[in-house]
Amino acid sequence: AQKITQTQPGMFVQEKEAVTLDCTYDTSDPSYGLFWYKQPSSGEMIFLIYQGSYDQQNATEGRYSLNFQKARKSANLVISASQLGDSAMYFCAMSLTDSWGKFQFGAGTQVVVTP
Amino acid sequence: ETGVTQSPTHLIKTRGQQVTLRCSSQSGHNTVSWYQQALGQGPQFIFQYYREEENGRGNFPPRFSGLQFPNYSSELNVNALELDDSALYLCASSTRRGEGETQYFGPGTRLLVL
């Protein structure tokens, strides 16, 4: 069975600084996808970025980039130039290709951006 | 906003009662997945529906059941409510294109069981 681990329960970051959120995963399946979602206090999960297991390049979406190290089974999210609106819970999730859409989520990291 | 809607937004029930939660998927999406998110935890996969059929289930008892309708909207039913069923229930919709396909989540229904 696959497993997602997020070891940072919470962190503070100053506005305009970059922050890295850690995510490691465990699966024996060679084909999978990795996702990051943001969850503000309102509760809705907002999709940020996706990385496929066979993608050669790290994914980027605006201020979000994913540092994918397949051999280490890590998929860390980097948020550049943090903004106050980035304060939220951040979840890493994985889906196996043969059971696509059945996400396994990590426990999340609470990010607080300070002025 | 994703276009995925859920109702009601909040609900209070007592132990032993039954509850029905509703989800309307984003236009063009034919797959709906349901997740339970207890306070302070990540979402847990309950089940997925595709073309009105259950297409995979997580580690939840049979008192959690669902339906998907021809317009791809979906219901989650929970019978014999327990205190531990108190959680945020999220639905997510997607297409069935497979690898690379993102799920888009609704705002959730907050259920409190007393």
Summarised one tens digit per residue, pLDDT across range A29-52 is: 998 999 999 999 988 999 999 999
Residue B70 burial (C-beta neighbours within 10 Å; 0-12, 13-18, 19+): exposed
Residue of chain B nearest A47, judged by CA positions: B104
Q: Name the pLDDT band for A80 (thresholds 50, 70, 90).
A: very high
> What's at B50, amino acid-wise?
Y
| B35 neighbors B23 (Cβ within 8 angstroms) | no
Res. A1: pLDDT tops 80: no
Using a CB-CB cut-off of 8 Å, the residues of chain A touching B88 are 43
Residues sharing a CB contact under 8 Å with residue B17, sequence separation 6 or more, in sequence order: B81
Sort out which chain B residues have CB atoms less than 8 A from A47's CB and list them: 102-105
> Chains A and B: how many Cβ contacts under 8 Å?
68
Bridge-based pairing of strands A46-52 and B87-94 is: unpaired
How confident is the model over B5-32, as pLDDT tens digits?
999 999 999 999 999 999 999 888 889 9
Contact A101 B90 (CB under 8 A): no
Task: Give percent above pLDDT 70 in chain A.
Answer: 100
From A46, A44, A66, select the one nearest A56 (Cα to Cα): A66
> Sorting pLDDT into bands at 50, 70 and 90, what band is A2?
confident
CB contact under 8 A, B108 and A108: no
Q: CA of B50, closest CA in chain A: separation in Å?
A: 11
**Average pLDDT of every residue of chain A:** 94
Per-residue confidence (pLDDT) for residue B2, from 0 to 100 = 67
More confident residue, B96 or A5: A5
% of chain B exceeding 70 in pLDDT: 95
